[in-house]
């Protein structure tokens, strides 16, 4: 299992620690013939880059991706694409004092229990920097999916108690590219301005109180054809759940109406089917675009709950490696909220999952095989 590899057909393997030489990813199984440049990757990495606003860590990293293999004359060759980002601005000495204690809300204690010791510098492998590899790979997956008419709209739905008011359906009244532009125009990646300002005010209070906040990320995928996803264990929603839950701070995942389904009734929750412009379609989308683990053709809608950043400057009780109760205050450069920077990570994981299942789907019927091999 090992655990640093994700996907079956479009398979990624990430590596690297916060304060090592760098972080990277190997993407294996990328179809040959895709135009790909380092700029394609960079656009995605920039969405998670630190230091963009006062609400993200002031660590200065260019986070510049280098393509080391798998691209020839501007096109993917079908062989592994190795991508690397060098670490630069790491202040390892900042972490000297936490080497011997367990920060609450972090993986310090669990890593020690698992491996006997840990690379404590900046969280080592459990650092958010590990997600750079995911985002670099996600950029490739999204580019491939776009060429098949699939679009992603990913944003911050809420921060603390502040939430946007539009439903996904309401947001979709505008074209995906338009919504994306709105989202990227503000540092919290919210698609509505009013809650965005409220959230900023809330975050400033958090920071004054040496505290941190969490929030909810929502992702809408449009253009997915019906039929994607495997019916039993590799359901599209099950694989999305795993993909998104594998992101460090995620504590909840739901699809369509999610937890509110539990208090609904069958007659309200079922989405009626109807013919519309000669095509089978759904009157509502409580299901979030997936039935029986397989895409319906309606937009796929899911949400992830992200916990407040565990690194806070206020005093906390904890223990050290020698089993002594101590008090700890975490200094250094930390995001008061990681939700905005995690938006692109969620989108990336969703794209990797979807593409993998779309590749699987190509062999699902005898007629597909016969067509393919008769050409």
> Which residues inside 259-288 make contact with a copy of itself, applying CB under 8 A?
259-275, 278, 280, 283, 287-288
Site for a copy of itself in 86-105 (CB under 8 A): 102, 104-105
Which of 212, 222, 285, 348 touches a copy of itself (CB under 8 A)?
212
Between CA 303 and CA 297 the distance in angstroms is: 19
Among 58, 100, 167, 368, binds a copy of itself (CB under 8 A): 368
Residue of the chain from 58, 100, 147, 185 that contacts a copy of itself (CB under 8 A)? 147
- The answer for residues whose C-beta is within 8 angstroms of residue 172's C-beta and 6 or more apart is 153, 179, 220, 222, 299
Place of tokens 């920077």: 341
**Residues 6 or more apart in contact with residue 113 via CB below 8 angstroms:** none
> Is residue 74 a contact residue for a copy of itself (CB under 8 A)?
no
The tokens for 44 are 């995605």
- Give one DSSP letter per residue of 139-187, joined into a string: HHHHHHHHTTT-EEEEEEEEETTEE----HHHHTTS-HHHHHHHHHTST
Exposed / middle / buried, residue 28 (Cβ in 10 Å: 0-12, 13-18, 19+)? middle
* Among 54, 62, 100, 149, contact with a copy of itself (rule: CB under 8 A): 149
- Binding span for a copy of itself by CB under 8 A among 39-47, 173-181, 190-198, 366-374: 366-374
Contact status: 256 vs a copy of itself (CB under 8 A):
yes
Rounded Cα–Cα distance for residues 55 and 106 (Å) = 20
Considering only residues 171 through 190, tell me which ones interact with a copy of itself, judged by CB under 8 A: none
Contacts of 135 (CB under 8 A, 6+ apart): 44, 45, 47, 48, 344, 345, 348
CB of 127 to a copy of itself, least distance (A): 10
Rule CB under 8 A: which of 35-54 touch a copy of itself? none
Return the number of the residue (107 or 343) whose C-beta is nearest a copy of itself: 107
The whole-angstrom separation of Cα 207 and Cα 201 is 10
Q: Encoding tokens for residue 246?
A: 């594998």
Contact range with a copy of itself by CB under 8 A, out of 54-62, 166-174, 189-197, 239-247: 239-247
Instruction: For a copy of itself, give the closer residue by CB, 101 or 179.
Output: 101
Helix axes 131-146, 339-361, angle to 10 degrees: 50
Positions in 295-334 near a copy of itself (CB under 8 A): 295-297, 305-312, 314, 316-319, 323-325
Q: Which of residues 50, 138, 168, 215 is near a copy of itself by CB under 8 A? A: 215
Residue 237 as a binder of a copy of itself (CB under 8 A): the answer is: yes
Choices 39-47, 55-63, 172-180, 358-366 (CB under 8 A): range interacting with a copy of itself: 358-366
Nearer to a copy of itself, 51 or 258 (CB): 258
With b for 16 or more beta-carbon neighbours within 10 A and e for fewer, the 63-79 pattern comes to: bebebeebbeeeebeee
| Beta carbon nearer to a copy of itself, 46 or 211 | 211
Q: Which stretch binds a copy of itself (CB under 8 A): 39-47, 56-64, 172-180, 207-215?
A: 207-215
Shortest separation between residue 59's beta carbon and a copy of itself, angstroms: 18
Q: Tokens for 350?
A: 């969703």
Report how far Cα 266 is from the mean position of its chain's Cα atoms: 32
Q: Which is nearer to a copy of itself, 91 or 181 (CB)?
A: 91
Residues 239, 11, 155, 90: what is their CA dihedral angle, to the nearest 10 degrees?
Answer: 130
Task: Name the minimum Å distance from CB 213 to a copy of itself.
Answer: 6
């Amino acid at each position: 299992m090992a655990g640093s590899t994700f996907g079956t057909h479009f398979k990624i393997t990430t590596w690297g620690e916060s304060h090592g030489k760098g972080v990277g990813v190997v993407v294996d199984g990328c179809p040959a013939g895709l135009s790909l440049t380092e700029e394609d990757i960079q656009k995605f990495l920039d969405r998670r880059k630190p230091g963009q606003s006062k609400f993200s860590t002031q660590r200065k990293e260019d986070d510049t991706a280098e393509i080391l293999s798998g691209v020839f004359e501007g096109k993917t060759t079908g062989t592994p694409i190795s991508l690397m980002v060098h670490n630069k601005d790491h202040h390892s000495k900042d972490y000297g004092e936490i080497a011997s204690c367990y920060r609450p809300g972090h993986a310090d204690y669990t890593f020690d229990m698992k491996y006997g010791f840990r690379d404590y510098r900046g969280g080592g492998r459990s650092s958010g920097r590990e997600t750079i590899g995911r985002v670099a790979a996600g950029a490739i997956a999204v580019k491939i999916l776009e060429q098949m008419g699939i679009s992603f709209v990913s944003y911050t739905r809420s921060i603390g108690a502040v939430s946007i008011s539009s439903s996904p359906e309401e947001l979709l009244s505008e074209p995906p590219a338009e919504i994306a532009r709105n989202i990227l125009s503000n540092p919290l990646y919210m698609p509505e301005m009013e809650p965005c300002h409220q959230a900023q005010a809330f975050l400033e209070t958090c920071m004054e109180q040496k505290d941190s906040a969490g929030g909810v990320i929502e992702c809408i995928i449009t253009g997915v054809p019906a039929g994607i996803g495997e019916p039993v264990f590799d359901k599209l929603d099950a694989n999305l759940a795993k993909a998104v839950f594998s992101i460090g701070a995620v504590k909840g995942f739901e699809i369509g109406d999610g937890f509110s389904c539990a208090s609904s009734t069958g007659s309200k929750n079922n989405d009626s089917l109807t013919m519309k412009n000669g095509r089978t379609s759904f009157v509502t989308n409580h299901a979030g675009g997936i039935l029986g683990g397989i895409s319906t053709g309606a937009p796929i809608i899911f949400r992830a709950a992200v916990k407040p950043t565990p690194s806070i400057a206020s005093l906390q009780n904890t223990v050290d490696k020698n089993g002594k109760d101590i008090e700890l205050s975490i200094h250094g450069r930390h995001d008061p909220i990681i939700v905005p920077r995690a938006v692109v990570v969620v989108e990336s994981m969703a794209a990797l999952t979807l593409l993998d299942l779309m590749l699987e789907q190509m062999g699902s019927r005898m007629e597909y095989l016969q067509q393919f091999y008769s050409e």
